Chains A and B, each alone.
Chain A
Amino acid sequence: MKKEVFVYDGSYQGLLTALYTAFKRKIIPVKIIKAADFREDLFYKKTIIESSEAKADLITKKIRENISANSLKNVFAAYLSELEAIEDHIFRYLFLGFKEGEKIDEFLSTTAVIKVQEAAKKVRRESHRFKGLLRFQKTQGNKYYGAIEPDHDILILLLPHFKARFSIQDWLIHDKKREKAVIYSAAAKEWLLIELEAEFEPQFAADEAEVQDLWQSFFAALSIENRYNPKLQSQFMPKKYWEYLIEEPGSSRKRKK
């Protein structure tokens, strides 16, 4: 019999359903892959996974009870990493996890455990970074708009932080890379995940440029000239995150004396 490749719709629920199916049928798929990344292949049998809420819930419960709540968090964060073949590592991680229980997170020399934990760590680190690096711009109509292009799919992890902090203003965080956004409404105290094309640009408020200008000059004035150290700066704040900053790294040297 041909070995099977599981193809799922790319959603977290879809992945959980795929995992559920594998454990239920007691098989080890050669690969669990998103439909969008799947290439037809003669050697393997393709099994399409129909995303199912009930199955996803079931396996979620199993992971929490038979392994640990922490391990469930790792699985979700690792999924958000979108790293290549992470689904297969997640499968192996859980496969071992169901045998070993919560100890699994101490198996620090097992490849699947390392891969899942490292992916989860990357995701958490990036989402922590964006809590600081995200910049809102005020749009017409007093809504605050922020664009990001993160390596990992962290939008959903940013949500609780910004909801708690900016609960009395309307805002939107736009993941341009994945063409989606989360919108929050202060009046309703509710949020919504929507699709939003990369080209979307709002109209900014009349006084927005002025505030940005103030921030830029504060940023430039703050640096101590004889401790100038752009290398250290970009070590903490890699260049890939600069595009949506309002301030300009390096600008302290351009500042008029």
Chain B
Amino acid sequence: MEIKEKLDILSDAAKYDVSCSSSGSSNRGGKNSLGNTKASGICHSWSDDGRCISLLKILFSNYCIYDCQYCANRASVDRKRASFTPREVAELTVDFYKRNYIEGLFLSSAVTKSPDWTMEQLLETASLLRNKYNYQGYLHLKAIPGADFKLIYQAGLLADRMSVNIELPSEKSLKKLAPQKEKAAILKPMQSIGTEIENNLIERKKYKKQKEKFVPAGHSTQLIVGASPESDRSIINLAAGLYNNFNLKRVYYSAYLPVSDSSLLPALNSSPPLKREHRLYQADWLLRFYGFQADELLSQERENLDLKVDPKADWALNNLDKFPVEVNTADYQMLLRVPGIGPRSAAKIVKARKEKKLNHYNLKKMRIVLKRANYFITCAGKYAAAVPFDSEIIYQRLVEKEAKQLSLFSQKQNK
């Protein structure tokens, strides 16, 4: 088969994997090698659906021995199949990289022949790239669940980032929809990668850089949203657990796009729950950067996020007794919890109020956007929102504001 046809099949098959970020990396690259990695992340193009293209994102192969119901590549589906060779992938990557089309390679694969065999192919590709082609650009490899951890470890010494996709948020759903996969077989490599990353950091400190880096840009996973019945609460709890226990860098959420007519899944003509995916990303953000705990966002009484307002506003409205906060006295953590105030604005406020007592005008001049925050703050004792301080009314106002902005939301979910 021509390389072009392979590329067509295997890039098409890979496109639903959302993690595309190439940022947060490792200072590879020197005077005598091809390429380097940039901490800030660079978009090289934007596809017709408005997503940033930064990596050559392909499957090594879409021949699969498994039959996960939600997957377009499952064994029982009749579709075009192809496999690359390690050399083909390496050459394609280098050809694209040298022309500045991409920041690097994101290589995943269906499980072909066996988990070990598949992992070996990925490992060999990585090793060709790093050793034969002297390539130091970004490299993200999938760890194949069920493969020998020795292979995964070797790959981790060559990659910048690794990921194991959990896909379904619970054991029960895995059993039903991906009967050959076990939660344990997925979680184990994740846990081991997390542990090895930590060990590697400690050892590198001890031996002053003499030791090779292991997955220096961290590891990540993906969860499919809407293929199975788990609530937002169980998804967010799972994500929080992964961040806390496995040293995970990112969890990606992917709204389920119907690709299969399995009776176990949403119908083919149902549309992907993009809004829900967007809210999950926002909630995830609150966990990672705003000091929220999973159980503050959702509880047994409330299993799902409100789709009409963002999770932070939702939390504030449900905890209205803590508001309005006085910007001149509230501590940094509390300022962070005000809807519309992010880490940068909160820091600015803390700094500026040392000089003088802040009023609304001062905040505006500091370029702090008060459109949403106004409902939740007082400045020098003054409440400036033009509505009564009432959760129902504020909720309506926020919904209206958000509806205006949301026309583009579905594409921003990855940011």
Contact A229 B50 (CB under 8 A): yes
Selected contact of A232 from candidates B50, B54, B95, CB within 8 Å:
B50
Contact A144 B98 (CB under 8 A): yes
Across-interface contacts of B7 in A (CB, < 8 A): 214, 217-218, 221
In angstroms, Cα B45 to Cα A220, docked, is 12
Considering only CB atoms, which chain B residue lies closest to A129 in the complex? B43
Least Cβ–Cβ distance between B209 and chain A, in angstroms = 19
Least Cβ–Cβ distance between A199 and chain B, in angstroms = 23
Contact A217 B45 (CB under 8 A): no
Given contacts A109-B365, A132-B43, A144-B98, contact A169 B34 (CB under 8 A): yes
Select the stretch in B25-33, B313-321, B328-336 that faces chain A: B25-33
Contact B11 A218 (CB under 8 A): yes
Across-interface contacts of B32 in A (CB, < 8 A): 167-168
Contact A228 B48 (CB under 8 A): yes
Across-interface contacts of A247 in B (CB, < 8 A): 45
Across-interface contacts of B29 in A (CB, < 8 A): 164-165
Selected contact of A217 from candidates B4, B33, B134, B365, CB within 8 Å:
B4
Least Cβ–Cβ distance between A211 and chain B, in angstroms = 5
Least Cβ–Cβ distance between B365 and chain A, in angstroms = 7
In angstroms, Cα B272 to Cα A6, docked, is 62
Is A253 among interface residues, defined by CB-CB distance under 8 A?
A: yes
Considering only CB atoms, which chain A residue lies closest to B136 in the complex? A165
Is B382 among interface residues, defined by CB-CB distance under 8 A?
A: no
Least Cβ–Cβ distance between B270 and chain A, in angstroms = 11
Across-interface contacts of B386 in A (CB, < 8 A): none
Contact B48 A229 (CB under 8 A): yes
Contact B45 A237 (CB under 8 A): yes
Given contacts A189-B31, A213-B4, contact A136 B100 (CB under 8 A): yes
Contact A223 B47 (CB under 8 A): yes
In angstroms, Cα B137 to Cα A169, docked, is 14
Q: Which of B38-69 contact A (CB under 8 A)?
A: 38, 40, 42-54, 56-57
Contact B11 A221 (CB under 8 A): yes
Q: Which of A108, A133, A251 has the most CB of B within 10 A?
A: A133
Least Cβ–Cβ distance between A62 and chain B, in angstroms = 29
Across-interface contacts of B53 in A (CB, < 8 A): 219, 222
Least Cβ–Cβ distance between B366 and chain A, in angstroms = 8
In angstroms, Cα B88 to Cα A214, docked, is 12
Contact A221 B15 (CB under 8 A): yes
In angstroms, Cα B96 to Cα A229, docked, is 25
Contact A134 B49 (CB under 8 A): no
In angstroms, Cα B100 to Cα A246, docked, is 11
Across-interface contacts of A219 in B (CB, < 8 A): 45, 47, 53
Contact B411 A229 (CB under 8 A): yes
Is B295 among interface residues, defined by CB-CB distance under 8 A?
A: no
Is A250 among interface residues, defined by CB-CB distance under 8 A?
A: yes
Contact A253 B31 (CB under 8 A): no
Across-interface contacts of B12 in A (CB, < 8 A): 221
Contact A224 B3 (CB under 8 A): no
Across-interface contacts of B369 in A (CB, < 8 A): none
Considering only CB atoms, which chain A residue lies closest to B271 in the complex? A226
In angstroms, Cα B49 to Cα A232, docked, is 8
Given contacts A168-B34, A189-B31, contact A224 B16 (CB under 8 A): yes
Selected contact of A222 from candidates B11, B33, B98, B99, CB within 8 Å:
B11
Considering only CB atoms, which chain B residue lies closest to A168 in the complex? B34
Q: Which of B29, B38, B92, B98 has the most CB of A within 10 A?
A: B98
Considering only CB atoms, which chain B residue lies closest to A146 in the complex? B100
Contact with A along B336-375 (1 / 0, CB 8 A): 0000000000000000000000000000010100000000
Is A121 among interface residues, defined by CB-CB distance under 8 A?
A: no
In angstroms, Cα B97 to Cα A138, docked, is 12
Which 4 residue pairs are nearest across A and B when measured between Cβ atoms? A232-B50, A223-B48, A227-B49, A252-B48
Residues on B lying within 8 angstroms of A by beta carbon are 3-4, 7-8, 11-12, 15-16, 29, 31-36, 38, 40, 42-54, 56-57, 92, 95-96, 98-101, 134, 257, 271-272, 365, 367, 408, 410-411
Q: List 27 A-B contacts (CB under 8 A).
A: A132-B44, A136-B100, A144-B99, A165-B29, A165-B36, A167-B31, A168-B34, A169-B34, A169-B98, A211-B96, A214-B95, A215-B96, A217-B7, A221-B11, A222-B47, A222-B51, A222-B53, A223-B47, A224-B15, A226-B257, A226-B271, A229-B410, A230-B48, A233-B50, A236-B46, A236-B52, A245-B45
Residues on A lying within 8 angstroms of B by beta carbon are 108-109, 128, 131-138, 144, 146, 162, 164-169, 189, 211, 213-215, 217-233, 235-237, 245-247, 249-253
